[in-house]
Structure 1
């Protein structure tokens, strides 16, 4: 589904094409997903779970807050780097009519996890006294754009340079740069 949607868009990918690509009968697809909309939304949910796992993998309590920040940054970056079709799908989904989540519903599970991490950083004095949601969005957009630029070959970024990008972001958010 990821590859088909990337190639044809949501509207240009009928369920018959999905079934053909999967090597199954269309009825089989409908056995698991009652509609194309349901399949599109469930795939988005699956991707979000993978993102949550990537963030959780980098959030180890014994590490210093700063090290956890770097680990989360790098793990989420590596997730997007390894799954460029998922990143593309996310961007298409959030800007599509399939995304029916209302802002008043609050953040989804992925953003709640991210905002919680940044909220803790603000509360415990590691990060500047700012809205943790703004800090989380700033970090996430930084990761996404870095992965997209690298993935499209617009820049070649070495591992030490990735660390520098995360360091610049940390320095801008940290209440006392140079500390953990």
Structure 2
């Protein structure tokens, strides 16, 4: 085991997690590098050993949280089960993840609506591209989901997940797992290929 490598990985993760929490509280502009370093328990100069600039840190944080999200979304996936059931898990796992980790939800919301999304348009999580997008594409290509562009389907599914998570986090209603599955079924009924019983 390379102890030095483990220490470096730990420091980088601490910086990313520190940034995530501070951005939730203060936004992008209200989170200086000095505060990130202090909150992560590293020297101010150390942060630049891992990230050339704050912009680079934000870009890597985006990929970091999308990797975590991709792992969580399909953590229970089993290709041998009916696609409908897999989709319900896909929806509920993502919503539950956002409820458990609101800092990630709020970071992604801020990122998508900021200049960073355009500036780093080519930066995306490999995990997301190799796991999540193919899962959705499979449903469309095999006639299980209505034929539509992925970029149109995404806001329908993702938007419902975000809205449900925010509603829960706001304290308006504490959704149980059963209620989340009930909402996921409504979304499935809206996007499934109508002739499909699978």
The TM-score with structure 2 as length reference comes to 0.80
| 2:111 corresponds to | 93
Q: Which runs of 4+ in 1 moved over 3 A?
A: 105-109, 111-115
**Structure 1 spans left out of the alignment, 5+ residues:** none
- For 1:51 and 1:165, locate their aligned partners in 2 and report how far apart those are by CA, in whole Å: 20
- For 2:61 and 2:69, locate their aligned partners in 1 and report how far apart those are by CA, in whole Å: 12
Out of 20, 32, 52, the position equivalent to 1:2 is: 20
- For 2:194 and 2:65, locate their aligned partners in 1 and report how far apart those are by CA, in whole Å: 35
- For 1:118 and 1:67, locate their aligned partners in 2 and report how far apart those are by CA, in whole Å: 13
Question: Offset of 1:66 from its aligned partner?
Answer: 0.7
Question: Aligned in 2, Cα 1:25/1:117: closer, same or farther, shift over 3 Å?
Answer: same
| 2:78 corresponds to | 60
Q: Which moved more, 1:142-151 or 1:21-30?
A: 21-30
Q: Which moved more, 1:55-64 or 1:41-50?
A: 55-64
Q: Deviations over 1:32-74 (max 9, x none)?
A: 2121111111111100111111223243211111111011111
Question: Offset of 1:18 from its aligned partner?
Answer: 1.1
Q: Does 1:45 align with 2:48?
A: no
| 2:8 corresponds to | none
Q: Secondary structure at the match of 2:74?
A: helix
Pairing 1:8-27 to 2, within 5 Å after superposition: 8-27=26-45
Q: Deviations over 1:70-100 (max 9, x none)?
A: 1111111121111100110111112222221
Is the Cα contact below 8 Å between 1:115 and 1:133 reproduced in 2? no
**Structure 2 spans left out of the alignment, 5+ residues:** 1-18
The TM-score with structure 1 as length reference comes to 0.87
Q: Which moved more, 1:139-148 or 1:122-131?
A: 122-131
Aligned residues: CA RMSD:
2.3
Q: Deviations over 1:108-141 (max 9, x none)?
A: 6536744432332222222223334322331111
Pairing 1:10-159 to 2, within 5 Å after superposition: 10-99=28-117, 100-102=119-121, 109=126, 110=128, 113-159=131-177
